[in-house]
Amino acid sequence: MKEKIIKYLCCTKCGADVELAKHQVPDSTDHIIEGDLICKECKTTYPIIGGVPFFSLNTTSAIVDLNRKNFADEWNYFTSSLSGKNEELAKEELESYFHPFIEYKDLDNKVVLEGGCGGGRLLYIAAKYSNAKEVFGIDLSNAVLTAFKNTKHLSNVSIIQADITNLPFKKDKLFDFIYSVGVLHHLPKPELGFNSLVKYLKEGGIILAWVYGKEGNSLYINFADPIRQLITSKLPFKVNLYLSCFLTAILWGLIWVGYVPLNQLFGEDNANKFLPFNKYFSYFRNRGFKDFWRTVFDKMVPTISYYISHDEFINWFKANNLEYKTYFRNGHSWTGIGQHQNLISTHNTQTHEYASSS
């Protein structure tokens, strides 16, 4: 944690300013690796562990605790390195969420927040390929330690452990751009998480969210998701790791032996009409086995997963007085972008059905 970000932070219990207490001398990247932040009013102490300030060490829900542990295991395993091919895949993925509304140049000199950064894959890309003034990543799980390791050399990045519904930022509208990818649908109350993020959006600022769609996922919701709820979300990490690898291998074979020939025979547009998840499988066929394995694992381990209908999703934006656009990504999920009304005419209420550009 860099000392300069304290001016942005506050106590999550009373909202007062925090100050730096005992701490080690900053390391070569100017980060304080171990220390404490203390509230000036109620004296609550927030530890700095491994370069990350921790604002939400405890929760009152066993389901939430298991959820964040499962995701931490995932991100600590699959994002242990962001070099080479992993960086390329992360860049393609972030661009597929941003498309067609956001480009890196739109972040120039902006203060940015990623709501739920996991191991820091997308945050790393957003910071490295833009000229953003500050990029904050928050996550409830201890995957923040991996995110810090992956991003600490970037001068404009700060990682914070916190609850997305109780953020440790001062109550002025801080962020020019907020994005949350694959996180809100894993919260006990997804809309509350979205509302919490919007509170910290500047006037004229933009928020982008990506969620699982109810549309396009009926087979998964009816047949596979009950298995997640009853069994796989409760299994040990290594059991799920091997089981997901086995399932991925089966699906990978099906894609190449069944889906690829049928797409070549009928054409992708026609195949989309009768092959379940055809766009989704085509996307991951181009990204490779390991990234598909990570995604299968990601589907198996959450204790909380919601599938959001388009009507429900756009109501999040309407309830917060946001003009919005949405698009249907890869035939199974929704991306939406919103901005306070009457501020920019291009962000009006439209819906598009786009496949990912990647």
Q: What is the pLDDT of residues 236-262, one digit of tens each?
A: 999 999 999 999 999 999 999 999 999
For residues 105, 317, 168, 149, the Cα torsion angle rounded to the nearest 10 degrees is -40
Q: What is the pLDDT of residue 80?
A: 80
The residues that bridge with 178 in the sheet, in sequence order, are: 113, 207
Q: What is the pLDDT of residue 348?
A: 40
Q: What is the pLDDT of residue 356?
A: 36
In this predicted structure, the answer to whether residue 100 has a pLDDT above a threshold of 90 is no
Instruction: Band the pLDDT of 25: cuts 50, 70, 90.
Output: confident
- 303 closest CA partner among 221, 224, 245, 235: 235
Q: Residue 356 corresponds to which amino acid? A: S
> What tokens does 183 get?
């996180």
Average pLDDT value for residue range 129-149: 96
pLDDT tens track for 4-19: 999 999 999 999 999 9
- For residue 81, count other CB atoms closer than 10 A to its CB: 13
- For residue 353, count other CB atoms closer than 10 A to its CB: 9
Q: What is the pLDDT of residue 88?
A: 94
Count each helix (H run) and each strand (E run) in the chain, helices first.
Answer: 13, 12
Average pLDDT value for residue range 28-33: 91
In this predicted structure, the answer to whether residue 291 has a pLDDT above a threshold of 60 is yes
Q: What is the pLDDT of residue 342?
A: 57
- For residue 130, count other CB atoms closer than 10 A to its CB: 21
Judge whether 309 and 286 are in contact, CB under 8 Å: no
Q: What is the pLDDT of residue 353?
A: 43
Helix (H, G, I), strand (E, B) or coil at 70: helix
Average pLDDT value for residue range 182-201: 97
pLDDT tens track for 47-96: 999 999 999 988 768 999 999 999 999 999 998 878 788 999 999 999 99
Query: Quick one: 55-214+307-352 is in which CATH superfamily?
Result: Vaccinia Virus protein VP39 (3.40.50.150)
pLDDT tens track for 324-356: 999 999 889 999 999 987 554 443 444 544 333
Instruction: Band the pLDDT of 26: cuts 50, 70, 90.
Output: confident
Judge whether 36 and 22 are in contact, CB under 8 Å: yes
Q: What pTM did the predictor assign?
A: 0.93
Helix (H, G, I), strand (E, B) or coil at 159: strand
Residue limits of CATH 3.40.50.150 in the chain = 55-214+307-352
Q: Residue 213 corresponds to which amino acid? A: G
Q: What is the DSSP letter of 220?
A: I
Strands 52-53 and 45-49, by their bridges, are antiparallel
| Mean pLDDT rounded to a whole number for the chain | 92
237-251: buried (b, 16+ CB within 10 Å) or exposed (e) per residue?
beebbebbeebbeeb
